[in-house]
Structure 1
Amino acid sequence: MKIMNNIVLIGFMGVGKGAVARELSKLSGRFAIDGDDMIESLFNKKISKIFEDEGEEAFRDAEKNLAKFLEHNVKGAIISTGGGFYRQRNLKKIGTIIYLKSSFAKIMERLQSAPNSAKKLAKRPLLKDLEKAKKLHKERNSAYARKADIIIIAEDKSPKKIAKEILKALKGQK
């Protein structure tokens, strides 16, 4: 892995991409960037409110613009992305793609056992209907795997342990 290459974390919503990015940042000294936070800044509102006020299409357009920005302007960072960001056509140009894989049940268990679980669930509009979300998880799993340079099983592991596994896997790619 080139030192200037970004590390891009993909995976289903709630899998822990943001927490893993923060741990990777501590371990590597790289800046961690949260794609959803950047989109919230652009709209000056939370993602759930963007979906409510502007619609999912406006959010997906913002993701496209974010992908272009990241490709052309960000080097050497750790980027945690939203669950649907994997669809960006230029994803491979942004950096090394790491898929954090977990079952739907374990993701829900993780979210529901978090100290701020109500907030974590509320900020994910696509988790409002659990049956639809479960179906979406199943549909996306193979797409995430196809896009990934590295797949890390994230179930029942701390963000720190996952971050260490990612760094080890990246060293093995050289």
Structure 2
Amino acid sequence: MDDATFSIDFAAAYAILAILLACAFFTATNLISAMYSASYADDLEPLAESLGDTLLRSPGEPDGWYIDPSAARNASIIGLSAGDPNVLSAYKLEGLYFYNASGLKEALGLVDESGLYGLRIEIESFDGVVYRTAGYPLPPDTKDVCVSSRIATIKEEDGTYRDACVTLYLWRKHVGAM
């Protein structure tokens, strides 16, 4: 009878120890994964800042890249500036619709032959009148997204100005996903 009690106690203790070791292993694995995912997003910050500078400070090359789709395809670089830094042209915001997600990356000068990067641009006026998006939709399970937000002004066709926020999302595909 004592042998049966000892073996049941031993089996229960062994099972509890195995459960604790498994929990510790999975917790350590998740912490290491989260640390690497956060470092991937930090590595993208200089690139996201550079892309944001290009969008908000450059008028684009050539100047009329936003007029029609063929001019947009032939643009060497796109920019949303109406002439002054952080003052965006409403016409150029409409010109973003000429680009699909991969074409937008190329037009911003992001070299991505392997298709490793995801890019999304959101421009929203504070009064809610203007809202434009371009690029890839942000996958819900991506954990390593670098977000770069900037305050700008949108110059409308009729000469009115609207304060806005330009948010650029940049991530590496297939890194940090669940």
Question: Same fold per TM (> 0.5)?
Answer: no
Q: Which has the higher helix share?
A: 1
TM-score, structure 1 normalization: 0.29
Q: Which has the higher strand share?
A: 2
Return the index of the structure with the highest Cα Rg.
Answer: 2
TM-score, structure 2 normalization: 0.28
